[in-house]
Amino acid sequence: MPPAHACNACKRRKVSHPSTRRRQSVRSIPIDSGQDDHTLDGTTDYTFQSSVSPQSLPPPGAESARRDSSHGLDFYPDPAHVHSTLQATAGALLSPEPIADAVRKCVDFFVQYQFPNTPVVHEPTLRAAALLITAENVPPFASFISSASDFHQQVSYFRKFTLATALCASVMSVLPDRPPSQRVLLAASFLSASRAMLRRYEEHDLEHPDSTSLVIRMWHSAAMQNSTGKVGTSYHYHAEAAYLAQRMRLYNEMSVQEHPKLEVPSLRASFWLLYLADKTSAVLQSRPPILNEQFFKREFTLLENGHDDNFLLDPSRKVNENSLESRLLVGFHLKRRIWAAAANLLDDGEPAVERIRRVGTILLHLVDNAENDTIERVARSQFDNLLDLLAQLDSKASDELAGGL
């Protein structure tokens, strides 16, 4: 029968619950980049104060419910800290140019030069979101978060800030009027801020995606590719956007129309961009397809332009008058169709050339093993014609056959 009380050895162990300790000493792994991350500093103790007491412990089940909530444990940077850090780092890199001017230039650059190729965002919404970066003519960013009535309202601010910083990261990585070294540092600053803010609401964003969910990831992909050349990381962001587009069933016109009217043109253009990029990658055999139309061919009903889609460009700006956006969309879809035709040609062309190559192999065999001169002469003539045709197509099959002569 077990003893009714602890033995003396157990009493001497002095094992206590964390809630009964007010101070606790721990060893810390040095995080300075100049130190060895695999060695411990054996001389320094780091002490922290524990604010947990038995009275403050949550009731049973409360902790698991908290973990299951959309907020989760707060391991990510505070939104106000992300905002202030961006202002400090970008401001130092831009000095003496005000950060507000630089952000405004990014938006203007996108609207003037990049929107015709990527008409994926509502201009007034983007310009309003850009104000959250600079805190110009608006209350400080922290006051927005603290005054939000619930998490969903906070998410709207998070999304706007993440969208604007993603745009700046993408544009800064290609701006021609800045030195390359400054471009890289500025793009990295805005990209880091955008990624940090996205992590604050990423779980909610994946569960309830909208047009910004796609656009932000596409701009993250572009910024990463242009500023670092990290193809794998860049593709990961693109793939996330493509998976979201697939989940949202954006290939189906009825699914797109279920979203708010302001979202529809952005979702429509975003899908066409993602679909074309995905198709091209698959044809070039650089990446496996994600938006494979074989899986949704019967439901592939998305229109190029909706009959009553809202305009994305700001109609109050004089430069956007005279149906400018309509003409830009004509050019956008014309370019998209050209690239799609080229992708289809590559997809269908090389297999056809491969079949011609097999015919050429048969003719070459006849040339080498002909039973009489007539068969050899006809086979060689046909083989020469076939080789000339393949050479005009600039196919690798022509080189293989020519090497067999």
Given a cut of 50, whether residue 255 has pLDDT beyond it is yes
Take residue 405 and report the two structure tokens written for it. 């002569």
Contact 169, 194 (CB under 8 A): yes
Q: pLDDT band for position 109 (50/70/90)?
A: very high
**Who's near 326: CB < 8 A, 6+ residues apart?**
none
Residue given tokens 């500025």 in the structure block? 186
Determine the pLDDT at residue 48. Answer: 35
- The answer to whether residues 26 and 48 touch, using CB atoms and an 8 Å cutoff, is yes
Q: What does the pLDDT read at residue 72?
A: 47
Residue 7 phi/psi, 5-degree rounding, is: -75, 170
The whole-number pLDDT of residue 62 equals: 45
Across-strand partners of 46? 26
Answer whether the bond into residue 98 is a cis peptide, omega within 30°: no
Q: At what angle do helices 231-247 and 211-228 cross, to 10 degrees?
A: 170
DSSP 8-state secondary structure symbol assigned to residue 233:
H
pLDDT at 294: 78
The secondary structure of residue 76, as a DSSP letter, is S
User: Coil, helix or strand for 238?
Assistant: helix
Residue bearing the bigger pLDDT, 201 or 23: 201
**Tokens found for residue 141:** 């960013």
- Cα–Cα distance for residue pair 211/227, rounded to 1 Å: 24
Work out the pLDDT band at 93, boundaries 50, 70, 90.
very high
- pLDDT given for residue 393 in this prediction: 64
Give the model confidence (pLDDT) of 306-331 as tens digits. Answer: 887 888 998 888 888 778 888 898 88
Report the alpha-carbon distance of residue 56 to residue 247 in Å, rounded: 42
The band of 345, judged by pLDDT with boundaries at 50, 70 and 90, is: confident
For residue range 23-57, what is the model confidence (pLDDT) as tens digits? 444 333 343 334 444 333 444 443 334 334 444 44
Banded model confidence at residue 350, pLDDT cuts 50, 70, 90: low
The residue-averaged pLDDT of 98-109 equals 94
The pLDDT confidence band at residue 351, using thresholds 50, 70 and 90, is: low
pLDDT tens, residue by residue, 356-397: 777 778 888 888 887 788 878 888 888 888 777 777 766 555
Averaged pLDDT score across all residues of the chain: 78
Give the count of alpha carbons within 13 A of 184, CB side only: 7
Amino acid 29: pLDDT: 33
How would residue 273 be classed by pLDDT, with cut points 50, 70 and 90?
very high
Q: Are 45 and 27 in contact (CB under 8 A)?
A: yes
Tell me the DSSP string of 135-192.
T-SS--HHHHHHH-SSHHHHHHHHHHHHHHHHHHHHHHTT-TTS-HHHHHHHHHHHHH
Q: Residue 363 has what pLDDT? A: 81
Q: In Å, how far are 37, 41, 216, 340 from 31, measured between CA atoms?
A: 7, 11, 31, 49
What is the rounded average pLDDT of the residues 237-259? 95
State how far the alpha carbon of 129 is from the alpha carbons of 2, 9, 76, 103, in Å.
68, 64, 22, 11
Label residue 13 by pLDDT band (50, 70, 90). Answer: low
Distance CA 29, CA 41 (A): 7
